[in-house]
Amino acid sequence: MHWEAFAAFAALQLLFALTPGPAVLFTVAHGMRSGWGASLKAGLGIQFGNGIYFTLSALGLGALLSTSETLFHAVKWVGAAYLMYLGFKAIRDARANAAPRGDAPVPVTQRPFAQGVLTQLANPKSVLFFGALMPQFVDPAAPLLPQYLLFGAICFVTEMPVLAVYGWVAAQGRRLAASERVAVWRERISGALLMGVGASLAAIRRAT
């Protein structure tokens, strides 16, 4: 294995992680809305979505996702619509969500981890990154499984701390705003961020 390739991959992944994109906006939205714990769960969901794309790429299915224009647009528009719906719902129900809630169970699709997985799977940039870009760093003459495992570890240790910091900063603003009126606006801003994530996914174009 060529360690220079892993170093280049790590630098590229860190650059992507530091650049505010759908994953960052999604994590910030949950940090503002429900605190740092929720943002961490959202970040872990994003990493789980990355793991699924790693598996698809290792099986050779990532290339199909990255080269099929139909699949690309289907993933993009379904993901964008899902996040726009979440954002609209958060804005519409801002006053009700800002009120103190009991221990009523939260549907799985509304939990930060599950939303993080779905958000990452719906991000066409992830399809391109793991399906087309990452294989360029793989040495076909060396065992593939250790390389994919190392790439996966690199993605986790570079991206998860960045998302955790973004989520922590967002959660601090939430802690400073305890009044119900501010909580309503916090819900609305969180919803606007989710809609922004959906809009950013919709704006992504497939490279030709």
Of 55, 56, 51, 46, the C-alpha closest to 79 is 46
The dihedral through the CA atoms of 70, 72, 73, 78 has a sign that is: positive
**pTM of the complete model:** 0.68
Encode the chain (208 residues) as per-residue pLDDT tens digits: 567 777 888 887 887 787 777 788 889 888 888 889 999 999 999 999 988 888 877 776 555 555 666 766 776 677 677 768 777 877 777 777 655 554 444 444 568 899 899 888 877 667 667 766 676 777 777 777 788 888 889 889 999 999 999 899 888 876 665 556 666 766 677 778 777 766 766 666 655 4
Of 198, 195, 169, the C-alpha closest to 94 is 195
Residue 160's pLDDT is 94
The three-class DSSP label of residue 101 is coil
Token pair, residue 113, equals 């981890």
Residue 104's pLDDT is 46
Residue 208's pLDDT is 47
